[in-house]
Amino acid sequence: MDTILHKRKLGNSGLEVSAIGLGCMGLSFGYGPAADKQAAITLIRRAYELGVTFFDSAEAYGPFTNEELLGEALEPFRDHVVIATKFGFERGRPDLGMNSKPENIRNVAEAALKRLRTDRIDLLYQHRVDPNVPIEEVAGTVKELIAEGKVKHFGLSEAGAATIRKAHAVQPVTALQSEYSLWWREPEKDIMPTLEELGIGFVPFSPLGKGFLTGAINSGTTFDTTDFRNIVPRFAEKNRKANQVIVDTLAAFALKKNATPAQVALAWVLAQKPWIVPIPGTTKIHRLEENLTAEKITLTPEDLQEIEHVFSAIQVQGARYPAALQQRVGK
């Protein structure tokens, strides 16, 4: 296993990262109990050995424990990696609501620097758009942090096109992070054309459909009680059953390419635009290695056409978020 990934630039910003990054949330939060700390450090360092230079965290993952984990894991090669983290929730807890007030952004940045054991945050995202704080004020605060050398680049997560434009006018946005995969293609409508026009990179999270596109989940799967997927309509048992056709279709195509469904799903995301950098997450080293090999899979124009033709006929069942969370996205 000697994967060393190619590099990609996130839009016009000049920020260069590995073509596939590592989403680190699941190591601490969201998908059941946190991974064993030593095992998580081993996984992060293995990703670096294989060429990953882009690591994604947030104060909300834990809260705080994920940044601490990354700080420790990446310290030996800090200058060779790009670390992204996020602000935007009250006390780092999504259940307490938004907080993108300038003072909170500053406090979060200072605290994150300590947890990450670093003197700068390479990419600082607003985790969700705060309806109570004008985006111009948010962008202006991050612009000040950039001027102070504490932050290098500004990002948004799950923001709508109008918000992206307003923010970008104050402080150039380097990247937008939102969900995008073969089973969630909403960003193709308004978001991706906006990013292309403005020269902003796109960082899809859940490029494997929160694990569904790997084929490891079916209608009989039970999730840990603390697993976020328990409240996601798309993961309700009847919807998993209905959506199985997607995985079966992907698996059949993957066989022809001598690849796994996960590898084809990631190769498809990479093939959409040269400024897209997906950040699949995993807690297992063999899955990490499988995911990173996706970069070596070439999908021909004919392959992409076939995928388009087959998948456009499939109607995915179930909303991607419960209603309360859906209200926080696309603003």
The rounded distance, in Å, linking the Cα atoms of 156 and 171 is 11
**C-alpha atoms less than 13 angstroms from C-alpha of 196 in its C-beta half-sphere:** 10
Residue 261: is the preceding peptide bond cis (ω within 30°)? no
As given in the structure block, the two tokens for residue 284 are: 């297992």
Q: Picking from 1-5, 164-168, 295-299, which range would have the lowest pLDDT averaged per residue?
A: 1-5
217 with 240: CB under 8 angstroms? yes
pLDDT (average), residues 90-95: 97
The CATH number of the domain where 286 resides is what?
3.20.20.100
The helix-helix angle for 261-272 and 301-311 (nearest 10°) equals 110
Q: Which of 117, 118, 116, 107 is nearest to 62 (CA)?
A: 116
Backbone angles phi, psi at 93, to 5 degrees: -120, 110
Domain that holds residue 24: 7-326
Question: Is 331 within the bounds of a domain?
Answer: no
Question: Is 78 within the bounds of a domain?
Answer: yes
- Taking only the tens place, the pLDDT of each residue in 113-141 is 999 999 999 999 999 999 999 999 999 99
Strand pairing class (16-18; 7-9):
antiparallel
The rounded distance, in Å, linking the Cα atoms of 185 and 180 is 6
Q: What is the mean pLDDT of the chain?
A: 97
DSSP output for 183-213: TB-GGGTTHHHHHHHHT-EEEEE-TTGGGGG
CA 326 to chain centroid: 17
Confidence of residue 3 (pLDDT cuts 50, 70, 90): low
31 a catalytic residue? no
The rounded distance, in Å, linking the Cα atoms of 67 and 87 is 12
DSSP letter, residue 31:
B
pLDDT > 90? residue 319: yes
Confidence of residue 303 (pLDDT cuts 50, 70, 90): very high
Question: Is 322 within the bounds of a domain?
Answer: yes
- Percent of the chain whose pLDDT exceeds 90: 98
As given in the structure block, the two tokens for residue 1 are: 């296993």
CA 31 to chain centroid: 15
Number of domain units in the chain: 1
- Percent of the chain whose pLDDT exceeds 70: 99
- Taking only the tens place, the pLDDT of each residue in 30-45 is 999 999 999 999 999 9
Enumerate the H helices of the chain as residue ranges: 37-49, 65-74, 102-115, 135-147, 161-170, 191-198, 237-256, 261-272, 285-292, 301-311, 323-326
The total number of residues written for the chain in this structure = 331
Q: Choosing from 31, 61, 125, 180, which is the catalytic residue? A: 61
Q: In terms of C-beta density within 10 A (0-12 exposed, 13-18 middle, 19 or more buried), how is residue 197 classed?
A: exposed
The pLDDT of residue 1: 57
- Taking only the tens place, the pLDDT of each residue in 221-251 is 999 999 999 999 999 999 999 999 999 999 9
Question: Is 311 within the bounds of a domain?
Answer: yes
User: Is 121 strand, coil or helix?
Assistant: strand
The pLDDT of residue 146: 98
The pLDDT of residue 4: 82
Backbone angles phi, psi at 253, to 5 degrees: -70, -40
Question: Is 2 within the bounds of a domain?
Answer: no
Question: Is 1 within the bounds of a domain?
Answer: no
- Residues in CB range of 51: below 8 A, 6 or more apart: 3, 4, 5, 18, 292
pLDDT (average), residues 177-197: 97
